[in-house]
Structure 1
Amino acid sequence: MYNPPTLLKNIYLGITQFLGVSIKQFSTEAKFVKTDKVLIISKLSKYEFEKGKHRNLNDRELEKILRNRGTDFEKLIYFHDLHNRFKENIVSTLRSMGCDVDVVNRFNCTEDNIEKADIIIPTGGDGTFLLAASKVTDNKKPVIGFNSDPNRSEGHLCLPKKYSTNIRGAIERLRMGEFEWLMRSRIRITLVVSEAENLIPNYLHDIDGESPTSVHKRKNDVKVLPVLALNEVFVGETLSARVSHLQLRLDGSTQTTNLKCSGICVCTGTGSTSWHMSINRLSTHTVAELLRLINIDATEDKDSLATILADIYNKKLIFPPDEKQMGYTIRELISAVVWPQPKGIKPRGFASKIEIKSKCFQAYLVIDGGVSFTFNDGTIALLEILPEDALRTVILRD
């Protein structure tokens, strides 16, 4: 029987297959990046950081303090100038391509700056990218980073290093749609607190002038924090030598597990290459010792069995940036007598929703290693990933 919708679909499939074009490319979603208004969020160099801490000193006095501290001052200035030259280069390149460009940093970036921009471009490394991402709270505005020092910085979240010397080429490809969208999952944190001061943000690299952060929503004692975690959320005692007492509930389970540990790290796929990897990775030395326990004469050479197995294991710790589940790690879980209560929880796993209740003395909830909130006894954190919280980024294929 004649079926018009099916016939049209078959014709469409045939044409796209003939042309070698993916159906996904014909999505109603725009397949280009608008670059009329560009906001550059510039890295804060170590030199600028020191100047911010010592605003009462002139340049000569600051130099004397830094040299007395043992700082390689020439190196400090070299990298400061290196980044500034890169910033000036990207600004001039974008303006020559007809872009309206504004430049801000962590101190003077406002919501109005973000709202007016078509695209956010952090220039620096992964730290600057995380800062820029924290300013964007929806999944509409793209954040696309350039690594200002590819010889010294990995810049995992930025565009491939070759585009640091080919800025024009990258922008042209973005305009022409020669890329793939990557919607990086982010963690939304809802806090249930008993005291209002628990919602005052603490910046881990604080300088006078840091803009205060306000909460998204307020209803009774439930608050959605204004910062979405692109990498990870960590909860635990401030003093690392003190045991963290926490209660953990996964995926809405009625069972709550009481824990003694060194804190809990909850990460996204983006963050699985960061702290999550550092906590869980196996060293070649450890694998070699395990092999020797089963009478295998293991070495730790570059091409040894221990090295190969460690590499395979460590690579499996990484999961996709757009994964909708979170990876959790109970750091240094104490397993003795009655701990944990009840027994059986895995020290590492995945969950769609994670609830953590504090029984701690002086603890913090830390987001992406940059901002923290008090997380003391009785405070509850609900962690989840929602599609509307994703960060819009791109992949540029070679």
Structure 2
Amino acid sequence: MYSPKPLIKRICRGFLGQYFSNNVKKIEISKALVVSKLSRYEYERKKHEELTDQEFEKLLRNRGTDLVKLLHFHNLHKKFEEKVSNTLMSMGIDVKVVNRFNCTGDKVDQADIIIPTGGDGTFLLAASMVMDNKKLVVGFNSDPNRSEGYLCLPKRYSTNIQEAIERLQEGKFEWLLRSRIRTTLVVSDDDNLVPSFLHEFDSDSNTIFKSKAIRKNGRYNILPVLALNEVFVGEKLSARVSHLQMRLNGSMENTNIKCSGICVSTGTGSTSWHSSINRLPVQSVAELLRLIDINSAERKDSLATVLSDIYNKSLIFPPDDQKMGYTIRDLISAGVWPQPKGIKSRGFASKIEIKSNCFDACLVVDGGVSFCFNDGTIALMEILPEDSLRTVTFRD
């Protein structure tokens, strides 16, 4: 039977993809859910809600906190949040403003679009509310002078909110389906499936997570939270060695590892912790050059700076990539470790299985939700198209 050559197939797929990309895009927005950033002032006030305002301010001053600065950035964010809400309402859009304490699954379901206002942390919070690839999430950076906001719209839209919404309504954007990691745990005790939140008061107030249920399939427990940035496994006490077993891409061979934990990243997360762990400082490149008698200056336009920049940029991969990047932190390579030899401290995989031989370890999703990950627990990680997060990019 005749079959087209691969090149022709790619051309056809590209043409069809471009056709559908350019024609099914205009977004009807009648209801928007604005997810508010939790400012440091609000965080502190929540911790000490039993105090009067005077007692609270006295507490902060006595411990040396700059209350003026705290209030300044709190008010800056609140003014921006109000600006986003007023802009949307002036365009005939019904608006609800929520935060991590009062957001529910019903509110998410009723909205046409989820709009986090803050920085990347707020965007991650909003993304954790969405468990499919249908609901659109578009973020605005409330303080572009202090925050990069990689996940938000470009900084210029922080002062052009209406233009951004109009571009969505007119279809002047490109879809970006950001890959997310689905984690399945195999545990001997269901108590290991109880989440712990990395904010002091979340355990009592995280209505978002409580509205979701762990999906069970025999021994397999699919966690009701998807990782947009990364999944980390390792001992809670960073000074303690993490004993782990690792298998990649369905391999039947386990590799025994001693390290400081393993970080499994998406393309979105490759600009975050993944990059911080693996980046090569200019100083290190300069020292390597010095060993081979090459000019080792560390100034802005030096060879060391150029090489460091090229290497660090190579760590980043596309946010819609279907592979995961893994990093074994501080891999101990001595004598019998790793066992068997040969595993790289950093690489890519489509499926990752990690078994714990740890004492007091955790599995942390996007730096926000933690699960017990002690001896015998197995984590299966994979990326599936239906778990993607629907976002957009603007071609300015």
TM over 0.5: yes
Q: CA deviation at 1:28?
A: 8.7
1:342 — aligned with what? Answer: 340
The Cα of 1:196 is off from its aligned counterpart by 1.2
CA contact (8 A) 2:258 2:331 kept: yes
1:34 aligns with 2:32: no
Partner of 2:156: 162
| Residue 92 (str. 1) matches residue 86 (str. 2) | yes
One of 302, 309, 312 as aligned partner of 1:311: 309
Give the equivalent residue in structure 1 for 2:175. 181
Match in the other structure for 1:249:
247
Q: Displacement, 1:62?
A: 1.0
User: Equivalent residue for 1:138?
Assistant: 132
Give the direction of change, closer, same or farther, for the CA distance of 1:293–1:78 in structure 2 (3 Å limit).
Answer: same
Aligned with 2:115 (options 121, 126, 139)? 121
Of 71, 75, 80, which aligns to 2:69?
Answer: 75
**Matched residues in 1 for 2:215 and 2:48: separation?**
36
Instruction: Give 2:323's match in structure 1, choosing from 317, 322, 325.
Output: 325
Amino acid at match of 2:344: K
Q: Which runs of 5+ in 1 are unaligned?
A: 1-12, 14-20
> Which residue of structure 2 aligns with residue 10 of structure 1?
none
Between the aligned partners of 1:232 and 1:74, the Cα distance in structure 2 is 35
Q: Assess if the C-alpha contact under 8 Å between 2:21 and 2:174 holds in 1.
A: no
Instruction: Answer yes or no: is 1:111 the counterpart of 2:84.
Output: no
2:7 is matched with which residue?
A: none
Equivalent residue runs for 1:195-214 within 5 Å: 195-207=189-201, 208-211=204-207, 212-213=209-210, 214=212
> TM (normalized to structure 2)?
0.93
Partners of 1:47 and 1:28 lie apart in 2 by: 44
Scaled by the length of structure 1, the TM-score of the pair is 0.93
Corresponding position: 1:220 with 2:218: yes
Looking at structure 1, the residues matched to 24 and 193 of structure 2 have their Cα atoms a distance apart, in angstroms, of 38
Q: Output aligned runs, 1:353-372, within 5 Å.
A: 353-372=351-370
What's the CA shift for 1:80?
Answer: 0.7
Deviation at 1:253, TM superposition (A): 0.3
AA in 2 matched with 1:64: K
Root-mean-square deviation (CA, aligned residues, Å) is: 1.5
Take 2:78 and 2:180, find their aligned partners in 1: how far apart are those partners? Answer: 30
Give distance in 1, aligned partners of 2:262 and 2:23. Answer: 37
Alignment match, 1:50:
44
Give the drift of 1:51. 1.1
Q: Aligned partner of 1:96: which letter?
A: S
Report the alpha carbon displacement of residue 216 of structure 1 after superposing the two structures with TM.
3.2
Give SS of 2:147's match.
Answer: coil
Q: Secondary structure at the match of 1:123?
A: strand
* Alpha-carbon contact 1:215-1:224 (below 8 Å) kept: no
**TM superposition shift of 1:135:** 0.4
What's 1:278 paired with? 276
- Alignment partner of 2:287 out of 278, 281, 289: 289
Partner Cα separation in structure 2 for residue 177 and residue 22 of structure 1: 18
Q: Secondary structure at the match of 2:221?
A: strand
Q: Are the equivalent residues in 2 in contact too, given 1:238–1:363 (CA < 8 A)?
A: yes
- Identity across the alignment (%): 68
What is the CA distance between 1:248 and its match in structure 2?
A: 0.2
Alpha carbons 1:159, 1:395 under 8 Å: kept: yes
Please give the alpha-carbon distance, in whole angstroms, between the structure 1 residues aligned to 2:336 and 2:143: 51
Q: Is the 8 A contact 2:21 2:175 kept in 1?
A: no
1:195 is displaced (CA, Å) by 0.9
Q: Is this contact kept in 2: 1:34–1:119, CA < 8 A?
A: no
List runs of 5+ in structure 2 lacking aligned partners. Answer: 1-10
- How far apart in 1 are the matches of 2:21 and 2:206? 41
Contact 1:215 1:223 in 2 (8 A): no
Partner Cα distance (2:287, 2:31) in 1: 57
Deviation string 1:196-221 (CA, Å, 9 cap, x unpaired) is 11111111113142335343312333
SS at match of 1:135: coil
AA partner of residue 138 (structure 1): D
What SS class does the counterpart of residue 260 from structure 1 fall into?
strand
SS of residue paired to 1:302: coil
